[in-house]
Every structure is written in structure tokens, then in C-alpha cells.
């Protein structure tokens, strides 16, 4: 009994430190841990071609070594990648998305022309499609509930008194408020442009930013993703002002000589200025509740790439331009600026991506991507890995994050999806949308617009991303 208890204790201790014991030979085996999941769940797991007894979601204790992981489920395309599992380490592949082999599609509505704008609330609950009645500067939407796409849409309209009437005008989404009801729009018409805050649930409370503040801003941004305060930017003068929409007041500029800016949270602005920079150079700076700190000086350009996010309790700032040979990433830079040993921001890493014109954080803020045409540079904040790759499939434009791990865009007129490192490329379904498509809250449905098969107009279409046993018998649901 003592021997058994002692052996069990040894096995438990070794297991806690990532070791295993071959009970036949007594040899100590160094193990690692693999977590694997998928959407949808219940998929088969193959390691180096061998079917595992567990399905997703699963926790597997494996010998350290090289592996090929493949995830399969009937009716879906396989997902796979190679990875190395070191001893005493944990590998997590809990994000795989399985696309159907032959997606089931259902037309929702036919439009005589391609809608000028399609947008979706941040929670992916409501899809707004600009209707054909939007003329003379008037704007109305068909509003679809993505959790009940079989229901006809509601119609929501912007009051005519809010918009400057004009022919040949266009509306463009700027950003949504986190309350999922207010949408900041830019209205461009012959001879000018203006900004509108549209309330989809209470359209009568919508307002014209230019008229309210008697201003002609070049750009407008929500403060802290809310519509009660706005940043107004005048590109000609380089001034950045704060506006209170409740009081109708516009403060004096708190920053001048601004070339580009990106606000974050309640008191942070990441911005670019040429003040104090050598000829041909600019400096990215942080404005933090009245105080400013220098980040990084780099080549002046036509496009400036700045962004800020929080991930796992840390602040990350990114800055660069389309002419600089690198885009610097900073982790908690204010700490190093205040530290007398450094007295300046020390970059965490630099992405080598010259000519980039698109910079973005993934939905979960884990990944940072910089795109220059077909070329991408991606940095993983969690694992400290960098990826540089060229997408061979011709892209129709810039890609954007589908979720926390995948980029999406258009290639050859079809929705094109890749993992953050260019693995598991997928052509999903035809679409005319620059965004590729929009999704329901559970990602079971993708909504696209494509040409009508009879050549008359376009069709708003629902693409069911379920397959096999996951696809309900009543496919309209």
C-alpha cells in the first residue's frame, strides 16, 4: 500500500510539472498541454493524421514535439495548422472557425441598385441597409434584426430637416456609439460635407453636428465611443476641439498643429504633429488629460497610422506613416517616459511594413495588423510573435478584422477570409460589399449583397454558415 501511495504521489507531482511516466518502461516523458476548440463545436480532432478520442472542446496532454492539427466536421471545410509543443508549455487553438463546404443561401430582399451604404451595430444585432428612397439628401434605412432575419425589416429614416438637401449626395459611416443606437455619419454633397449623429431608435433626436456647433470640421470622432461629446478636427488649421452635444458648446482647441489623431477612452488621444520635428519628419505624441508626451519621430507622409488599445491590462500605442520603413509598437510608454533611466518612450517592437495605408487592432485587441496592398505585417501581443506575408489572391482593397483572429475582405468578387498569419484561406461566397459581409451575433449567418441572377438589381442575401447536422430542417430559421 505504501508503495502504491508513493508511486501515485510521484505521478501526480510529475504531472503537475508537465511530466508523464511510461508505466511499462518507467521512462519519464516530458509533456505539454493542448487546448483545442472550434465553431461549431463537436468537431473531430486529428493530430499527425490520427483521430483523437476527444472532440472540440478538448484538453489534451501530449508529448513534446511537432504536430499537425486538423479539425474536421461533416459538411464543413477542414481547418489545420502545424505547431510545435515544447515541454511544460500550453498551446491554445480555441478559435478555429469551420466554414461550410456548400453554404445554404436565402434571398432577403431585392434592391433595384446596390445600396449606397450598409452598416451594422457593434453588437451585430441590427443591420441597416440604405434604401432607394434616399434622394435629395434624405436618408432612410431598412433595419434588419440579425437574430430574426426571416422577419421583414423595419424602416428608419433621418428627419429631412437634419440634412442639407442635394442631389448626388453620399453618406458614409464614421463610427458607432457603444450603445448600438447612435451612428456618426459623414454626408458629402456637391459643394460641401457635414456630419450627422443619427439615432436609429429615436430618429427625431438626430442632429447635424455642423449646424449645432456652427463649425466646418474636416473630421469628427466620438469621445469614449459616446455621442454626448465629440472631437472636432480642422485639417486646414490643425486644431482639435472638444464639443459637448448636450450643452451645444465648443471648447477652444486643446491641440494645435495636428496632422492625424486617434482618440481612445475618456482622456487619451494618440496624434501626429510636425511641431518640433526636423524637416521632413513628424512626431507621434500622446495627449493624456491635458499632458502630452512624445512617442516617436518618423518620416512625414501622406497617410499617418496611429492607434491605441488595451490588452491584458497594458496600454499599447502604434505609430508610423506610409513612407516610414517601420511602424513602432509601444507597451505602456508613459511608464518609460516618466522613468529617469529612459526619459523617452521605448518601443516594444517594430513592424517592417513600408507603404502601409491600413493599421488596425483585432476585435479582441490581441493582434495588430499593418497592410500595404497585398503585403501584411501582424504582431501577436499575447505570444510576442510577428508575421510577415504576401497574400497571393488578388485583394479588392483593404481587409478588416472579422473577429479576434481572422481578417476578411474581397478577392475575385468573393468573401475572402484568412487567419491572422495567412493560414486557412477561405473563399466563402460572392459579394459586392467592400467589407465582404456582415454577421449575426452568433456568427451563424453572414449577410452579403450580390448581383441578382436575372441581371436586374442586387440581392441582399443570407448565407447560412451552419452545415450538416447543425443546419436546421427549417432552413428559413
pLDDT tens digits for 122-147? Answer: 999 999 999 876 555 678 999 999 99
* Residue 318 confidence (pLDDT): 96
* Integer Cα distance of 145 and 211 in angstroms: 32
Percent of the chain that is helix, strand, coil (3-state, to 5): 5, 50, 40
Confidence at 309, pLDDT banded by 50, 70, 90: very high
Grid cell 491635458 — which residue?
A: 290
Q: What is the pLDDT of residue 10?
A: 39
Predicted confidence at residue 354, as pLDDT, reads 87
Whether 27 shows a pLDDT value over 90: the answer reads no
320 in Cβ contact with 259 (< 8 Å): no
The answer to whether the Cα torsion of 98, 99, 103, 109 is positive or negative is positive
Closest residue by Cα to residue 261 from 233, 241, 242: 233
Mean pLDDT score of the chain: 91
Q: Which of 227, 229, 287, 230 is nearest to 257 (CA)?
A: 287
CA-CA-CA-CA dihedral for 173, 174, 178, 182, to nearest 10:
-60
Q: Hey, what's the cell of 69?
A: 492539427
Place of cell 447560412: 464
- Residue 447 near residue 145 (C-beta atoms within 8 A): no
**Residue 13 has what pLDDT?**
37
CA 255 to chain CA centroid, nearest Å: 28
Specify the 3-state DSSP secondary structure of 394. coil
- Whether 158 shows a pLDDT value over 60: the answer reads yes
Residue 316 has pLDDT above 90, yes or no: yes
pLDDT digits (tens, 9 = 90+) for 349-386: 999 988 999 999 999 999 999 999 999 999 999 999 99
Mind listing the domains of the chain with CATH numbers?
A: 2-93 (2.60.40), 105-114+396-477 (no CATH), 126-395 (2.130.10.10)
pLDDT band at 340 (very low <50, low <70, confident <90, very high): confident
CA distance 207 to 437: 29
The number of angstroms, rounded, from the C-alpha of 155 to the middle of its chain's C-alpha atoms is 28
Is residue 314 over pLDDT 90? yes
If one counts every other C-beta atom within 10 angstroms of the C-beta of residue 271, the result is 25
- Answer yes or no: is pLDDT of 22 > 60: no
Digit-coded pLDDT (tens) for 209-246 = 999 999 999 999 999 999 999 999 999 999 999 999 99
Q: Given this model, what pLDDT does residue 2 score?
A: 52
Residue 182: the pLDDT is: 98
Q: Average pLDDT in the 174-189 region?
A: 97
CA atoms of 193 and 184, how far apart (whole Å): 13
- In this structure, the strands spanning 90-93 and 19-21 are unpaired
> For 454-477, what is each residue's pLDDT tens digit?
888 999 999 999 999 999 987 766
Question: Residue 338: which pLDDT band, with cuts at 50, 70 and 90?
Answer: confident
**The pLDDT of residue 135:** 55
pLDDT the model gives residue 136: 55
**Of 452, 474, 455, nearest in space to 107 by CA:** 452
Whole-angstrom distance, CA of residue 421 vs CA of residue 81? 11
**Nearest CA to 320 among 334, 330, 311?**
330
Average pLDDT over residues 62-69: 94
Average pLDDT of span 169-173: 93
Tell whether the model's pLDDT for residue 12 goes beyond 70.
Answer: no
Quick one: CA torsion of 194, 199, 203, 208, rounded to 10 degrees?
A: -20
Strands 414-419 and 192-199: unpaired
Q: How confident is the model at residue 1 (pLDDT cuts 50, 70, 90)?
A: low
pLDDT, tens digit (0-9, with 9 covering 90-100), for 90-109: 999 999 999 999 999 999 99
Per-residue pLDDT band for 28 (boundaries 50, 70, 90) equals very low
pLDDT of 183 over the 60 cut = yes
Give the Cα separation of 324 and 151 in Å (integer): 50
Q: Answer with the residue of higher pLDDT: 345 or 466.
A: 466
Higher pLDDT, 16 or 302: 302
User: Could you tell me which of 221, 225, 228 has the C-alpha nearest to residue 260?
Assistant: 221
Amino acid at each position: 500500500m505504501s508503495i502504491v501511495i508513493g508511486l501515485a504521489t510521484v505521478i501526480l507531482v510529475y504531472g503537475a510539472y508537465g511530466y508523464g511516466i511510461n508505466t511499462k518502461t518507467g521512462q519519464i516523458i516530458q509533456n505539454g498541454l493542448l487546448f483545442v476548440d472550434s465553431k461549431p463545436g463537436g468537431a473531430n480532432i486529428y493530430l499527425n493524421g490520427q483521430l483523437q478520442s476527444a472532440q472540440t472542446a478538448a484538453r489534451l496532454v501530449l508529448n513534446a514535439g511537432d504536430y499537425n492539427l486538423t479539425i474536421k466536421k461533416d459538411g464543413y471545410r477542414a481547418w489545420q495548422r502545424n505547431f510545435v509543443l515544447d515541454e511544460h508549455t500550453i498551446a491554445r487553438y480555441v478559435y478555429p472557425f469551420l466554414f461550410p463546404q456548400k453554404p445554404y443561401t436565402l434571398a432577403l430582399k431585392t434592391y433595384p441598385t446596390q445600396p449606397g451604404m450598409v452598416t451594422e451595430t457593434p453588437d451585430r444585432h441590427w443591420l441597416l441597409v440604405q434604401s432607394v428612397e434616399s434622394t435629395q439628401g434624405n436618408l432612410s434605412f431598412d433595419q434588419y434584426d440579425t437574430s430574426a432575419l426571416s422577419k421583414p425589416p423595419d424602416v428608419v429614416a433621418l428627419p429631412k430637416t437634419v440634412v442639407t438637401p442635394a442631389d448626388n449626395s453620399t453618406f458614409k459611416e464614421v463610427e458607432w456609439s457603444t450603445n448600438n443606437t447612435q451612428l456618426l455619419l459623414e454626408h458629402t454633397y456637391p459643394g460641401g460635407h457635414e456630419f450627422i449623429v443619427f439615432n436609429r431608435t429615436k430618429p427625431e433626436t438626430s442632429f447635424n453636428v455642423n449646424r449645432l456647433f456652427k463649425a466646418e470640421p474636416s473630421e469628427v470622432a466620438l469621445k469614449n465611443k459616446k455621442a454626448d461629446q465629440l472631437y472636432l478636427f480642422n485639417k486646414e488649421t490643425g486644431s482639435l476641439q472638444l464639443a459637448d452635444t448636450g450643452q451645444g458648446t465648443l471648447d477652444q482647441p486643446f491641440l494645435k498643429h495636428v496632422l492625424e489623431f486617434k482618440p481612445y477612452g475618456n482622456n487619451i488621444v494618440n496624434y501626429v504633429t510636425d511641431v518640433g520635428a526636423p524637416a521632413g519628419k513628424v512626431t507621434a505624441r500622446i495627449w493624456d488629460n491635458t499632458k502630452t508626451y512624445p512617442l516617436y519621430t518618423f518620416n512625414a507622409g501622406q497617410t499617418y497610422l496611429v492607434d491605441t488599445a488595451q490588452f491584458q491590462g497594458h496600454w499599447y500605442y502604434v505609430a508610423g506613416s506610409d513612407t516610414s520603413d517601420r511602424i513602432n509598437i509601444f507597451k505602456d510608454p508613459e511608464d518609460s517616459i516618466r522613468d529617469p533611466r529612459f526619459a523617452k518612450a521605448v518601443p516594444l517592437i517594430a513592424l517592417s511594413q513600408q507603404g502601409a495605408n491600413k493599421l488596425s487592432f483585432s476585435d479582441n485587441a490581441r493582434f495588430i495588423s499593418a497592410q500595404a496592398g497585398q503585403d501584411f505585417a501582424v504582431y501577436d501581443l499575447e505570444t510576442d510573435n510577428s508575421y510577415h506575408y504576401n497574400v497571393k489572391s488578388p485583394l479588392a482593397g483593404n481587409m478588416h478584422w472579422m473577429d479576434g483572429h481572422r481578417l476578411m475582405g474581397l478577392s475575385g468578387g468573393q468573401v475572402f477570409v484568412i487567419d491572422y498569419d495567412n493560414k486557412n484561406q477561405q473563399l466563402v461566397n460572392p459579394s459586392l460589399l467592400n467589407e465582404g459581409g456582415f454577421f449575426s451575433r452568433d456568427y451563424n449567418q453572414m449577410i452579403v449583397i450580390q448581383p441578382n441572377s436575372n441581371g436586374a438589381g442586387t440581392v441582399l442575401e443570407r448565407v447560412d454558415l451552419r452545415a450538416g447536422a447543425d443546419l436546421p430542417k427549417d432552413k428559413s430559421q
